């Protein structure tokens, strides 16, 4: 195995500044994540050895701040890749003392242990809608889907005191930018909590005396206020529809469970099926997710492998169907990996639909955090190379359970975590583990992709026509582009006896190669991979680094100096073909066999 301390030597070091490229991968995604020669395996083994050292061999001792305090949280985590099925075997499971001594469920977790997944459910609900709804149905106003919303709109047009339900669509709900109130579920209301706690004789503050609020009747919360009576979809709509909005529709993103309770109801209204049936028929059965459930399992065998933190009746076994689309699903680590692979591989959706779906729909106030439907998109900056990678995630955090699935389209890979604990620090522990995985695996994925790209593409490509003096040499880390980060580059380009690199086209330097279209044929098949050639300077990202250079002194100057690639991509054509387009033919294992500089209309064979 290659030493993990050496793989970073493949990549140039610039410190923690962000460099701007085309949005997407620098190299084709890595194929080998799991062999003993893979840098990803080496990184994973380093990470798990650190976890073992703290959790198994020195649980009462000190630990780095990265993982300190995680010992009281039960968790299961693993990697996955659409190119390497064995990557899913890179797992780590920890059973806390609480679960090890529990009288309910499993006492030792593994990849098939069943956890509640909390709000990670929202991704399944949206995915179910992606599979079952047409684009027109996604964009229908809710007033056209359910008449109860039309009744509310007819009462008032005041946008401060009444939601514009005729402007809210299922897509706005999934994109978390509907502006609807967050506290539509009565159990989240202060009045409800006080009433129930008071009824049970539990200590709580009376909002009337504690906060100076006026006395009012709990029935003002609508038909779902009574926990002894079931709350169905129409009841939930009546409970929330007359509340004032938090924002106007499409104004600003805001996290609200009501978005997904309503989304589940709308999908059911449109399809005429219950969400429970839709999850089973549309996702669980087609993907063979045998450890996934829309309500708590009932068989003794499934309960025996379930992770039950705290009293079962107030945690694991809670089942309120109308809230299920927001946070009620259960799954295992192995099933979560299957689900992630299905999304990345477009198993149930056309690939074009998947690409369209996995994009930001709005920003937050953070420069590193955007939102999709229902993606929580974290922008990771590789501290060694400056590469910015978008992580498409969905967090779950409710009660005794936490979850997160992280998809990395740049590498066609991802990882997940499921966690359980009655401790107050469960959410913090879950995020510490995720931070540790990210900081370990993302650099390893980039380095493995660079290693495979070097092996597959570096070399000299020549014309087999002895009368044609044409050749191209591809190298790694030999670009002359200003402050260029690591990557493939062209160090020699002769076309019919002309030195192309000496021309104005490439500014007399050695340009970089940026991946533009990955291989579209399946693994184990021949195919083609397209790159764009760019001589543009690779400067610091003005906002990501916070740096102020003389040539990036403001947002408008900075946009040209750090985003020039996207502005000039594919700008030069000759006779209808891009002069910057290079297409490699690759064999079954990804090795380049020939190269076609498109505008020159010639095929060069690899020596």
Name residue 438's beta-bridge partners. Answer: none
Of the candidates 188, 272, 164, the one whose C-alpha atom is nearest the C-alpha of residue 236 is 188
pLDDT in the model for residue 292: 98
Express as a percent the part of the chain with pLDDT over 90.
Answer: 72
* Per-residue pLDDT reduced to its tens digit, 17-71: 555 578 889 999 999 999 999 999 999 999 999 999 989 887 555 556 567 789 9
Of the candidates 114, 261, 106, the one whose C-alpha atom is nearest the C-alpha of residue 186 is 261
pLDDT in the model for residue 395: 97
Residue 9 scores a pLDDT above 50: no
* Per-residue pLDDT reduced to its tens digit, 288-328: 999 999 999 999 999 999 999 999 998 999 999 999 999 99
Edge-to-edge strand list for the sheet holding 91-94: 91-94, 74-81, 413-420, 401-408, 388-398, 376-381, 369-371, 362-363
pLDDT in the model for residue 553: 55
* Rounded average pLDDT over 407-424: 97
Residue 15 scores a pLDDT above 60: no
Residue 551 scores a pLDDT above 70: no
Task: Give the three-class secondary structure for 228.
Answer: coil
State the residue for tokens 């920003």. Answer: 363
pLDDT in the model for residue 603: 97
Least confident interval from 102-106, 176-180, 227-231, 502-506? 227-231
* pTM summary value: 0.93
* Rounded average pLDDT over 336-365: 97
* Rounded average pLDDT over 219-247: 87
CB 368 within 8 A of CB 390: no
pLDDT in the model for residue 22: 80
Name the band, by pLDDT with cuts 50, 70 and 90, for residue 555.
low
* Rounded average pLDDT over 68-85: 95
Of the candidates 227, 258, 257, 275, the one whose C-alpha atom is nearest the C-alpha of residue 149 is 258
Name the band, by pLDDT with cuts 50, 70 and 90, for residue 587.
very high
Secondary element (H or E) of residue 47: helix 39-55
Angle between helices 233-240 and 257-271 (to 10 degrees): 130
* Rounded average pLDDT over 492-519: 93
Domain boundaries, the chain: 4-120+330-452, 458-606
* Rounded average pLDDT over 139-153: 94
How is residue 258 written in tokens?
């009501």
CB 537 within 8 A of CB 482: yes
pLDDT in the model for residue 10: 46
Name the band, by pLDDT with cuts 50, 70 and 90, for residue 7.
very low
């Amino acid at each position: 195995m290659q030493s993990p301390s050496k793989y970073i030597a493949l990549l140039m070091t610039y410190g923690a500044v962000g460099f701007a490229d085309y949005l997407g991968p620098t190299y084709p995604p890595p194929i080998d994540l799991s062999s003993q020669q893979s840098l990803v395996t080496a990184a994973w083994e380093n990470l798990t050895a650190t976890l073992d050292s703290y959790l198994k061999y020195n649980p009462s001792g000190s630990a780095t701040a990265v993982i300190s305090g995680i010992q009281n949280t039960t968790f299961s985590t693993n990697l996955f890749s659409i190119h390497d099925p064995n990557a899913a075997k890179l797992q780590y499971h920890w059973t806390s003392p609480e679960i090890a001594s529990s009288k309910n469920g499993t006492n030792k977790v593994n990849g098939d242990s069943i956890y509640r997944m909390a709000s990670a459910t929202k991704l399944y609900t949206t995915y179910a809608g992606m599979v079952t709804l047409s684009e027109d149905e996604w964009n229908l106003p809710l007033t056209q889907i359910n008449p109860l919303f039309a009744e509310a709109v007819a009462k008032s047009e005041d946008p401060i005191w009444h939601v514009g339900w005729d402007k809210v669509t299922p897509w706005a709900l999934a994109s978390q930018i509907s502006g609807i109130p967050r506290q539509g579920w009565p159990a989240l209301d202060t009045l409800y909590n006080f009433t129930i706690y008071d009824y049970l004789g539990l200590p709580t503050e009376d909002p009337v005396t504690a906060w100076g609020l006026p006395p009012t009747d709990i029935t003002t919360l609508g038909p779902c206020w009574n926990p002894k009576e079931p709350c169905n979809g129409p009841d939930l709509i009546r409970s929330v529809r007359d509340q004032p909005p938090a924002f106007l529709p499409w104004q600003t993103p805001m996290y609200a469970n009501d978005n997904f309770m309503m989304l589940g109801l709308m999908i059911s209204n449109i399809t005429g099926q219950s969400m429970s049936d839709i999850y089973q028929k549309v996702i669980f059965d087609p993907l063979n997710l045998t450890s996934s459930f829309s309500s708590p399992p009932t068989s003794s065998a499934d309960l025996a492998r379930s992770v039950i933190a705290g009293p079962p009746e107030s945690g694991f076994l809670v089942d309120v169907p109308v809230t299920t689309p927001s946070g009620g699903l259960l799954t295992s680590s192995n099933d979560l990996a299957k689900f992630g692979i299905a999304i990345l591989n477009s198993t149930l959706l056309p690939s074009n639909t998947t690409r369209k779906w996995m994009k930001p729909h709005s920003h937050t106030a953070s420069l590193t955090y955007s939102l999709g439907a229902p993606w929580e998109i974290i922008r990771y900056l590789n501290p060694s190379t400056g590469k910015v990678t978008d992580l498409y995630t969905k967090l779950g955090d409710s009660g005794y359970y936490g979850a997160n699935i992280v998809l990395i389209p740049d590498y066609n890979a991802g990882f997940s975590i499921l966690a359980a604990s009655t401790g107050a620090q469960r959410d913090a522990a879950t995020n510490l583990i995720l931070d540790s995985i990210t900081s370990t695996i993302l650099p390893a994925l980039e380095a493995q992709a660079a290693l495979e790209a070097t092996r597959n593409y570096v070399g000299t490509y020549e014309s087999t026509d002895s009368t044609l003096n044409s050749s191209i040499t591809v190298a790694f880390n030999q670009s002359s582009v200003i402050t260029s980060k690591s990557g493939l580059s062209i160090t020699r380009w002769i076309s019919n006896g002309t030195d192309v690199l000496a021309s104005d086209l490439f500014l007399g330097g050695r340009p970089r190669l940026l991946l533009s279209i990955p291989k579209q044929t399946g693994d184990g098949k021949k195919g083609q991979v397209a790159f764009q050639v760019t001589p543009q300077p690779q400067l610091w990202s003005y906002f990501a680094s916070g740096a102020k250079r003389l040539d990036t002194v403001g947002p408008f100057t900075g946009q040209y100096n750090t985003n020039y690639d996207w502005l000039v991509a594919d700008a030069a054509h000759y006779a209808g073909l891009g002069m910057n387009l290079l297409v490699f033919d690759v064999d079954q294992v990804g090795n380049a066999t020939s190269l076609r500089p498109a505008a020159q209309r010639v095929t060069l064979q690899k020596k």
